[in-house]
Amino acid sequence: MMVNRLFIPLIFLLSLASSAGSVFGSENSNGFLSGKDPGGNETCRLIKDNITRGVDAKSVTKTNIQLGNNVCYVVKCAIDAGGELRLIVMGALEAGSTPDVVSRCCADAGAEPWMIAKIMENMGEDRGVSPPEDTFIPVDPYHRGTSSGRFISPSAF
């Protein structure tokens, strides 16, 4: 009787400790933050196969990101397959990724930072966005008030 009273709580505590280790022991089970493919290497293999067969790296990158794959994982696989970096960046941006994420993923995949910066700089020109021009309007320090010459009271604001 005494053995049963000690044995059952001991078994319960051991099972609790072993299940807590399996729950809290893995850092990230699906690999979302680490850039790993949760489904194995199937996605990366398909990306590499498509790029080596001559499919446009931009469309491969864009399609795989739009299908819900991890941006960094897709960019890394596309760079590893030998895709052109400019096309990979364009595809990731067109898929809806932000430029800071795309540049970080490219750098993590081994692309040179100066190349990434040059591509990102030229991306604005490719999309029809011109760099901001100097729109400084000089202010006449001697002409104060409204066009009628009266001063505007600060209480009117």
Concatenated DSSP letters of 49-95: HHHHTT--HHHHHHHHHHTT--HHHHHHHHHHTT--HHHHHHHHHHT
Residue 41 lies in a domain: yes
Residue 3 lies in a domain: no
Q: Which two tokens stand for residue 77?
A: 């696989």
Contact status, residue 71 vs residue 105, Cβ threshold 8 Å: yes
pLDDT at residue number 64 = 92
Q: Which two tokens stand for residue 96?
A: 């809806």
Residue 106 lies in a domain: yes
Residue 101 lies in a domain: yes
pLDDT tens-digit readout, 85-101: 999 999 999 999 999 99
Is the pTM of the predicted complex or chain greater than 0.75?
no
Q: Residue 55 sits in which domain range?
A: 32-126
* pLDDT greater at residue 74 or residue 40: 74
Say what angle helices 71-80 and 57-66 make with each other, to 10 degrees: 160
What single letter denotes the amino acid at residue 5?
R
When divided into structural domains, the chain yields a total of: 1
Residue 114 lies in a domain: yes
